[in-house]
Amino acid sequence: MGGVTWHQRTAAGAVLTAMSLGVREAVDHRDDDVAIVQEINLPPFDPDAAVELHVERGGPDDSWVVIRPWLLRRAQ
């Protein structure tokens, strides 16, 4: 029995599928990332707070959190 084996057909199918998906991504690029932004009113800074959150608008990499574990234990 000669001809193309099922391994070759499967590999060729995988390559063609990958190529078609790549072409579709290049031609019909959709931005699926949706940013969800919700503004909230935070209470004023409290030095006795166990958790302090500083959110930088438009720059999540610049946001930070301070956790004071000794104040968490006191609240229990």
Identify the CA nearest to 37 among candidates 21, 20, 60.
60
Residue 45: domain span: 6-75
Q: Is residue 1 part of a domain?
A: no
Q: Is residue 11 part of a domain?
A: yes
Residue 51, SS3?
strand
CB 53 within 8 A of CB 43: no
Q: Is residue 46 part of a domain?
A: yes
pTM: 0.37
Q: How many domains does the chain have?
A: 1
72, pLDDT greater than 60: yes
**Tens-place pLDDT, residues 11-42:** 888 888 888 888 887 777 666 667 677 777 76
Q: Is residue 49 part of a domain?
A: yes
DSSP 5: -
64-67 and 51-54 beta bridge pairing: antiparallel
At residue 4 the predicted structure's pLDDT band, cuts being 50, 70 and 90, is low
